[in-house]
Amino acid sequence: MDYTECRWKVFHNNQRYFNKKGTNVYVGQLIFLHILIIRKHRMFTDATDTEQRILPSRQDKNGAFLIDRSPTYFEPLLNYLRHGQIILDANVNAAGVLAEARFYGIEGAIDILTAMADEKELQRSGLVSFTRKDVLKAIMSTPTTSELRFQGVNFVGADLSKLDLRNINFKYAIMRGCSLAGSNLSGCCFERADLSYANLQGAQLIRVRMLCANLAAADLHSCNFEDPLGVPANMEGVNLKGANLEGSIMAAVNLRVATLKNAILRNCILRSAVLAGADLECCDLSGSDLHDANLRGANFKDAAFDLMLTPLHMSQTIR
C-alpha cells in the first residue's frame, strides 16, 4: 500500500509530531501529524472527514484537532499504517490497542489485534497449548536433580517428537493429538493423562506409569516397554481402544482391567504380561508372544489369534 512517509522528532518537552505537512492531530499529550493516504483503513482521510469522525473535538490556534485518547495505544496503530504490522512493546496491552483500533475504525488492525487479545486471554486462563519451545525452555532451565512437572498442562497437538523427556510428570496432562514419536519417555508419569490420537510410534516407554490414562486411537507402533532391570510398566486400567501397538515390546507390562477393544497388537511381545480382566474384544493378537501371560478373566470375544507363537491354552496362567 502507498502510505505517506512520516518521520518524528522528540523535543525537549517530550512532545512528538510528524514533520510532514498536513493537519496535526493531538492524541492525549502527544502531537501526531494527519496521515493522508490511508483511505483503505477509513481513518483521517481528509480534514473534513476527520472532523466528522472525531466530533466533538477542539482545535488549537494552529487548527490541530484534540482527541482525548491514549497516545500509548495509538502509536502501534500509527506504525501499522506505515508498514502493515502490529508490533507491541512488552508493556502495551493488546486489548487496549484493540479498543483504539475500533475507535478509529482501522479494520485490518482490528482483526489482528482481536486474535492477539484472545491468545493473551487464553494464556492467562491456561487454555493455550504448550509448544516444543516451551518444553525445551523448561528442560534447559531445570536442574537435573529436580523433578520436572507438567501436571495438568495442555499439550494438544504439540510436536514433542524425538526429545529426551525421561522421568517427567505428565499426570492429568491434556496431550490429544500430540506427537511423541521417537521420544524417550522412560520413567514418565502419565496417570490419567489424555493421550488420545497421540503419535508415540517408536517411543521408549520403559517403567512408564499410565494408570487409567486415555490412549484411545493412539499410535504406539514399535514402542519399547521392557526394562532390562525387570521393572514393569504400569498401565492398569488404561484405555487403548482402537490403539495400534503392532510390533511393540511389552514384556511383563501391567495391563490389568485395561480396555483394548479393537486394538492392534499384532506381533507384540507380551511375555509375562498381566492382562487379567482386560477387554480384548475384537483385538488383533496375530503373531503375538503371550508366553506365561496372565489372562485370567480377560474378554477375548471375536479376538484374532492367527500365527501366535504360543498356543493360547499354554499362555494362560491362573494367579
Span 243-255, pLDDT tens digits: 999 999 999 999 9
Q: Tell me if 311 sits within 8 A of 292, measured CB to CB.
A: no
Domain 129-318 has CATH 4.10.520.10: no
- Over residues 163-173, the mean pLDDT reads 96
CA distance 215 to 220: 9
Instruction: Give span(s): CATH 2.160.20.80, the chain.
Output: 129-318
pLDDT on residue 297: 94
Instruction: Give span(s): CATH 3.30.710.10, the chain.
Output: 71-125
Is the pLDDT score of 55 beyond 70? Answer: no
| CATH class, range 71-125 | alpha beta
pLDDT on residue 83: 84
pTM: 0.62
Cell 466533538 belongs to which residue? 56
Span 3-54, pLDDT tens digits: 333 333 322 233 333 333 444 555 554 545 444 333 334 444 443 344 444 4
Confidence of residue 311 (pLDDT cuts 50, 70, 90): low
Widest pairwise Cα distance in the chain: 101
* SS3 of residue 120 by DSSP: helix
Confidence of residue 136 (pLDDT cuts 50, 70, 90): very high
Span 206-244, pLDDT tens digits: 999 999 999 999 999 999 999 999 999 999 999 999 999
CA distance 286 to 306: 5
Secondary-structure breakdown of the chain: helix, strand, coil percentages, each rounded to the nearest 5: 20, 15, 65
pLDDT on residue 59: 65
Q: Tell me if 271 sits within 8 A of 290, measured CB to CB.
A: yes
Span 250-282, pLDDT tens digits: 999 999 999 999 999 999 999 999 999 999 999
Span 93-129, pLDDT tens digits: 889 999 989 988 888 889 889 888 887 776 666 556 7
Q: Please, what's the b/e burial string for 71-102 (b: 16 or more CB within 10 A of its CB; e: otherwise)? A: bbbbbbbbebbeeeebebeeeeebebbbebbe
**What would the grid cell of residue 16 be?**
512528538
CA distance 189 to 149: 10
Q: Tell me if 51 sits within 8 A of 91, measured CB to CB.
A: no
pLDDT on residue 128: 66
**What would the grid cell of residue 27 be?**
492524541
Is the pLDDT score of 319 beyond 70? Answer: no
Q: Tell me if 298 sits within 8 A of 277, measured CB to CB.
A: yes
Give the chain's end-to-end CA distance (angstroms, integer): 77
CA distance 126 to 276: 39
- Least confident window among 56-65, 77-86, 289-298: 56-65
Please tell me which residue, 177 or 84, carries the higher pLDDT value: 177
